[in-house]
């Protein structure tokens, strides 16, 4: 490998975890990286989810890395440390990092439910967290509805619920044992409420698609999941409030569930840089000025994106632990720096990979070249909520201009889906 651009474990540079639990997680993960790296190209070509790798994760306790230690997990509770681990993993394979992110982020959000939820929610969270710690549970999220579909929860007239709809872009789905499905429920007065039913893979009427032909992140197990009269018990439904309520407090949970993905795209950019710079270093002749300019620009962008991501993660860690003040203000205080960082990284990481293609030259313009995979994978960042580019512009400009708008993209989507075309 070419020499890295930074060596010191300074907090904020995403080079090293900041807690003992974070170091333990990274040490365990490091032992699996050679296998992941060696299989990444074939898995990308075949859109094959690395089932055996995730079986290794389960044996090592990594599927429960963000589960509290008292429930059997590794006890990693810092967003910063999770992002560091995902960055290192993404350097080997971004698809695997994206899929593991799903599990790790669910551990973080379920821990909050276990600590602060209602008694039924706390009981459900504890059961799932303990199962994650033993490797028995792989918990996926279903956020985005298929085009023209509204995923809905309706009464079964016996005290329970029935779920109908279809979700797309559900990562880690091939091994998912439980699905947190963002759905809507219409009340008798016409109010639309946001709910999250938790559905076991074995539930009647649940179907996981077998294949997905994505542009990038092809080995992430990102599939469609359909629900047809899936039974859901009353104690497996998380209430999220009325659509249109304009509660910025929810931005805190959305930040926690997504901000660690910044590490994935930093890792993709780092991997591309290492491939390109190592190739340049092997050349016998002095590199021309154009090459030197590209290399300096690449390392400058990498430093910038790591610094921006690290700062946003440290900010989120600080605010996530403080529930003492205005919770709406806390939500905005976590989301806004996250969006500054996400926007920056979604610009700089693809630029790094693009410059690396220029350094390597025409040989990289082949489907199975590692840089081709990285070029496709890095573009996924711009589509990830919260927020995609357009929604992110709306949010950040709204904050600057004091716009009176609903910042909960799930609420906005729900109301939009109910508006006649």
Q: What is the largest CA-CA distance in the chain?
A: 78
339 vs 241: CA distance, rounded Å: 24
Nearest to 62 by CA among 79, 74, 46: 74
Residues of the chain predicted below pLDDT 50:
1-8
Nearest to 184 by CA among 411, 421, 420: 411
Nearest to 356 by CA among 375, 381, 337, 343: 375
Q: What is the pLDDT of residue 346?
A: 97
Q: What is the pLDDT of residue 3?
A: 45
Work out whether the CA dihedral 186, 191, 192, 198 comes out positive or negative. Answer: negative
Q: What is the pLDDT of residue 1?
A: 40
> What share of residues in the chain are helix, strand, coil (percent, to 5)?
55, 15, 30
Task: Kindly list the distances between the CA atom of residue 73 and the CA atoms of 64, 205, 226, 228, 325, in Å, as whole numbers in the listed order.
Answer: 5, 32, 31, 34, 30
For 182, half-sphere exposure in the C-beta direction (CA atoms, 13 angstrom radius) is: 20
Residues contacting 99, CB < 8 A, separation 6+: 49, 54, 171, 172, 220, 221
Work out whether the CA dihedral 379, 381, 384, 388 comes out positive or negative. Answer: negative
Asked if 393 and 346 touch (Cβ cutoff 8 Å), the reply is no
**pLDDT per residue over 190-232, tens digit each?**
899 999 999 999 999 999 999 889 999 999 999 999 999 999 9
Task: Kindly list the distances between the CA atom of residue 399 and the CA atoms of 144, 347, 414, in Å, as whole numbers in the listed order.
Answer: 25, 21, 22
374 vs 44: CA distance, rounded Å: 10
Q: Are strands 183-186 and 178-181 parallel, antiparallel or unpaired?
A: unpaired
Q: What is the pLDDT of residue 4?
A: 44
164 vs 149: CA distance, rounded Å: 9
Task: Kindly list the distances between the CA atom of residue 315 and the CA atoms of 178, 304, 358, 388, in Å, as whole numbers in the listed order.
Answer: 31, 17, 35, 21
**pLDDT per residue over 16-48, tens digit each?**
999 999 999 999 999 999 999 999 999 999 999
Asked if 301 and 351 touch (Cβ cutoff 8 Å), the reply is yes
């Amino acid at each position: 490998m070419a020499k890295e651009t930074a060596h010191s474990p300074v907090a904020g540079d995403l080079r090293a975890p900041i807690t003992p639990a974070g170091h333990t997680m990274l040490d365990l993960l490091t032992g699996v990286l050679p296998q992941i790296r060696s299989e990444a190209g074939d898995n990308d070509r075949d859109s094959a989810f690395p089932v055996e790798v995730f079986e290794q994760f389960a044996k090592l306790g990594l599927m429960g890395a963000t589960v509290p230690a008292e429930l059997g997990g590794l006890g990693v509770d810092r967003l910063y440390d999770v992002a560091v681990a995902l960055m290192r993993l993404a350097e080997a394979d971004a698809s695997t990092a994206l899929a593991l992110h799903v599990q790790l982020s669910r551990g973080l959000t379920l821990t909050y439910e276990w600590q602060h939820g209602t008694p039924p929610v706390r009981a459900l969270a504890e059961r799932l967290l303990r199962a994650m710690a033993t490797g028995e549970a792989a918990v996926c999220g279903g956020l985005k509805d298929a085009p023209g579909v509204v995923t809905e929860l309706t009464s079964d007239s016996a005290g329970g619920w029935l779920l109908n709809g279809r979700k797309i872009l559900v990562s880690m789905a091939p091994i998912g044992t439980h699905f947190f499905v963002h759905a809507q429920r219409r009340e008798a007065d016409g109010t639309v409420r946001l709910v999250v039913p938790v559905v076991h893979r074995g539930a009647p009427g649940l179907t996981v698609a077998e294949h997905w032909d994505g542009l990038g992140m092809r080995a992430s197990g990102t599939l469609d999941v359909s629900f047809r009269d899936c039974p859901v018990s009353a104690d497996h439904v998380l209430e999220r409030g009325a659509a249109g309520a304009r509660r910025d407090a929810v931005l805190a949970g959305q930040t926690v569930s997504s901000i660690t993905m910044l590490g994935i795209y930093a890792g993709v950019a780092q991997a591309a840089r290492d491939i390109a710079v190592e190739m340049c270093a092997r050349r016998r002749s002095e590199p021309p000025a154009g090459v030197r300019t590209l290399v300096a620009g690449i390392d400058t962008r990498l430093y910038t994106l790591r610094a921006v991501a690290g700062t946003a993660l440290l900010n989120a860690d600080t605010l996530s632990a403080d529930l003492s003040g205005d919770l709406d203000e806390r939500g905005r205080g976590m989301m806004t720096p996250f969006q500054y960082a996400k926007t920056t990284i979604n610009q700089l990481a693809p630029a790094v990979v693009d410059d690396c293609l220029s350094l390597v030259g025409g040989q990289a313009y082949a489907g199975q070249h590692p840089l081709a995979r990285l070029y496709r994978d890095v573009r996924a960042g711009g589509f990830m909520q919260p927020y995609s580019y357009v929604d992110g512009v709306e949010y950040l400009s709204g904050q600057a201009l004091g716009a009176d708008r609903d910042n909960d993209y799930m609420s906005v989507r729900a109301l939009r889906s109910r508006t006649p075309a």
